[in-house]
Amino acid sequence: MLMQRKEMPIDAIVEKYETSITAYIVSYVKDWEKAKDLCQDLFLQLTIKFNQGYKIENAEHYLFRAAKNTVINYWKKTASQQALIDDYYNHIQQQARYNETILEHDKQLIFSILEKQMSDQQSKVFRLHRIDGLTYSEIADSLNISRSTVKNHMIIALQKIRYYMSLHADELISILLILSYFKNH
């Protein structure tokens, strides 16, 4: 709606309606600071139009209609941003689950290689303690052996693992690098 430029100046329109437009917007967005920002954007657009020679016949009607459209656009933008955030969060969760699966597989592969260096009893003790998280006392009870025997099996198992790793460090590093490469591609 074009009008003569000598009607109500933009400063007077802003002064008269800023509080009521901000209150209208905050009733929908429930955030006073965001409502003030949206109101400022609305009045900036109005100022641009005013400087281009546009005038409004009914400022109140125009401003409340513009405020309604501003709120709708804000909701659309917020919904779009939230959808992107949700998609990104879901992707991160899927990637984390995938990485956990791969790491568990890697751990089992390395353990199966190392387990071959231990006796059956050492392997059981090691698995129960390091994999299943049982205490020495719990292992002793479940295998019907003494706590000191459990401790000795763990010491020997760890010595064998260290010795094997010192002999085969290059191979183990290669396996880890290969698995890591395929995990990331």
Q: Taking residues 97-116, report their average pLDDT.
A: 78
Is residue 100 over pLDDT 50?
Answer: yes
Confidence (pTM) = 0.47
Is residue 82 over pLDDT 60?
Answer: yes
- Which pLDDT does position 144 carry in this prediction? 94
3 band by pLDDT with thresholds 50, 70 and 90 = very low
Q: Which of 65, 67, 52 is nearest to 18 (CA)?
A: 67
Q: Are the C-beta atoms of 127 and 135 separated by less than 8 Å? A: no
How far is it, in rounded angstroms, from Cα 157 to Cα 162? 9
Task: In the chain, list all ranges with CATH 1.10.1740.10.
Answer: 10-87
Higher pLDDT, 67 or 165: 67
CATH for the stretch 10-87: 1.10.1740.10
Q: Taking residues 79-84, report their average pLDDT.
A: 83
Task: In the chain, list all ranges with CATH 1.10.10.10.
Answer: 116-184
Is residue 20 over pLDDT 50?
Answer: yes
Architecture of the structural domain at 116-184 = Orthogonal Bundle (1.10)
Can you give the three-state secondary structure of 114-136, one letter per residue? HHCCCCHHHHHHHHHHHHCCCCH
1 band by pLDDT with thresholds 50, 70 and 90 = very low
Q: Count CB neighbours of 83 within 10 A.
A: 10
